[in-house]
């Protein structure tokens, strides 16, 4: 065992135990969402954690905590000054792509820098040589799953950090703070987290999502995003009498996927601000097959061109096999939040100062994804995204550093203090 790594500040060290205990409790609750569900939330089990959080918020003194009609948990921690009201937001759901049932978190205390083999599936090994962020955290307390599920740090790390910070503020009455509004949403992972979010009732002047990753990062720019569903309808015929009759929707769907550019415009071949089109789900039968794509870009015009590319590839399928019927459905998910954040530079300046006060060097960053904050920013509530300390999201190899999670919780506490200095 290596020597345990230091915490970023005495406050972070004080918060660490509570953050970890909450995190380990929350990740055991299965909150996996579902794509394209008609109802909202997409899975009722998400509300199991939402209701638990309402009870815990009330227990720490936030008496107005409620699960509202928009399926968000709202709660208030009154401030000690007439400062702007600060919102803190995280989401309870986990990705539909990897199972979140039966999560068995493991804490690798004072990690010694050696590869971490996850005991539930020995094929899953966290290799420091391939994971620079992990390699930089020798001595940290590293939390993983057992390798058969995701961990759930996205976004239960954010939830645990908000809860620990708010609990600390609630019991530390002599510490100056702005009023805090807490929100925990459902269905963020399927692009519906801000759906039905009552901004007027929430009442925040500025807000932050706790849904980022690496230590010290403040994300001020997201992708713009759209989801594209291509439905291919063929004709099913008994294979014994199918000659010149069968129109196989499965094969046509496979042709569509193969026609997507491989050396460019894919997540595997892009980085930074480069956009992509990504087939992430295929289902169906001979009669009908569905291919779901996501399209992403930091530039709205380029995003439109990516969607147009998919429309063209779908039309090509129908042109090659005119007996098939091909439909394309496009749904806008969110827009790049950068223009809206730039209209309120104080929301960025305050966060950077809070990160410094928590003993961490801050960094502005972009995300190759989206947040509830992207939607809320476009609706008039500037909402950049703070780090949580989670890594390798949407994977059975997901992990989180306790030291980094504690630094995020300390940042929240410091943020309430920074904003208290901005009395109206």
Q: Which residues carry out catalysis?
A: 93, 188
pLDDT on residue 1: 65
pLDDT on residue 228: 96
pLDDT on residue 86: 98
Query: Which residues, other chains included, contact 318 with Cβ-Cβ below 8 Å and sequence gap of 6+?
Result: 324, 325, 326
pLDDT on residue 422: 80
pLDDT on residue 368: 87
pLDDT along the chain (424 residues), means of 10: 91 98 98 91 97 98 97 96 94 96 97 97 97 97 98 97 98 93 96 90 97 95 93 95 95 97 91 93 96 94 96 97 97 90 95 98 91 91 97 97 98 97 74
Q: Which of 303, 308, 324, 315 is nearest to 256 (CA)?
A: 315
pTM: 0.90
pLDDT on residue 36: 78
Q: Which of 211, 177, 204 is nearest to 347 (CA)?
A: 204
- Computed over its alpha carbons, how large is the radius of gyration of the chain? 23
Identify whether the C-beta of residue 149 lies closer than 8 Å to the C-beta of residue 396.
yes
Distances from the Cα of 206 to the Cαs of 141, 234, 331, 334, 423, in angstroms? Answer: 33, 51, 27, 19, 13
Specify the pairing of strand 385-386 against strand 206-210.
parallel
Q: Would you state the structure tokens that stand for residue 320, as one six-digit string?
A: 């090659």
Identify whether the C-beta of residue 141 lies closer than 8 Å to the C-beta of residue 109.
yes
Give the whole-angstrom CA distance, residue 357 versus residue 246. 67
285, with CB counted inside 10 A (0-12, 13-18, 19+), is exposed
């Amino acid at each position: 065992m290596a020597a345990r790594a230091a915490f970023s500040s005495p406050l972070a060290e004080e918060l660490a135990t509570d953050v970890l205990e909450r995190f380990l409790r929350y990740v055991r609750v299965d909150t996996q969402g579902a794509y394209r569900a008609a109802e909202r939330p997409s899975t009722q089990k998400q509300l199991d954690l939402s209701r638990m959080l309402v009870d815990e918020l009330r227990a720490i003194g936030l008496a107005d905590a409620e699960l509202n009609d928009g399926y968000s948990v709202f709660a208030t921690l009154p401030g000690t000054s007439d400062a702007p009201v600060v919102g803190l937001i995280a989401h309870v759901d986990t990705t539909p792509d990897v199972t979140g049932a039966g999560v068995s978190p493991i804490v690798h205390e004072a990690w010694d820098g050696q590869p971490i083999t996850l005991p539930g599936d020995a094929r899953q090994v966290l290799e420091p040589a391939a994971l620079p962020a992990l390699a930089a955290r020798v001595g940290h307390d590293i939390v993983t799953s057992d390798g058969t599920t995701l961990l759930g740090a996205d976004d239960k790390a954010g939830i645990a950090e908000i809860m620990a910070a708010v609990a600390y503020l609630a019991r530390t009455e002599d510490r100056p703070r702005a009023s805090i509004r807490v929100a925990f949403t459902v269905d963020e992972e399927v692009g519906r987290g801000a759906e039905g979010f009552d901004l007027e009732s929430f009442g925040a002047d500025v807000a932050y999502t706790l849904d980022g990753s690496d230590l010290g990062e403040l994300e001020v720019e997201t992708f713009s995003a759209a989801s594209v569903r291509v439905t291919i309808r063929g004709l099913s015929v008994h294979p014994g009498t199918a000659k010149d009759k069968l129109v196989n929707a499965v094969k046509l769907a496979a042709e569509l996927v193969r026609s997507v550019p491989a050396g460019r415009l894919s997540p595997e071949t892009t980085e930074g601000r480069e956009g992509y089109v990504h087939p992430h789900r295929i289902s169906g039968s001979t009669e009908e097959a569905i291919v779901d794509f996501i399209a992403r870009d930091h530039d709205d015009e380029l995003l439109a061109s990516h969607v147009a590319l998919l429309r063209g590839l779908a039309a090509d399928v129908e042109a090659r096999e005119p007996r098939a019927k091909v439909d394309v459905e496009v749904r806008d998910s969110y827009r790049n939040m950068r223009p809206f954040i730039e209209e309120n530079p104080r929301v960025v300046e305050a966060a950077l100062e809070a990160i410094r006060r928590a003993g961490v060097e801050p960094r502005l960053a972009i995300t190759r994804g989206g947040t509830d904050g992207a939607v809320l920013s476009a609706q008039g509530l500037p909402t950049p995204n703070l780090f949580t300390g989670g890594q390798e999201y949407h994977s059975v190899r997901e992990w989180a550093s306790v030291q980094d999670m504690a630094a995020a919780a300390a940042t929240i506490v410091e943020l309430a203090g920074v904003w208290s200095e901005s009395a109206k």
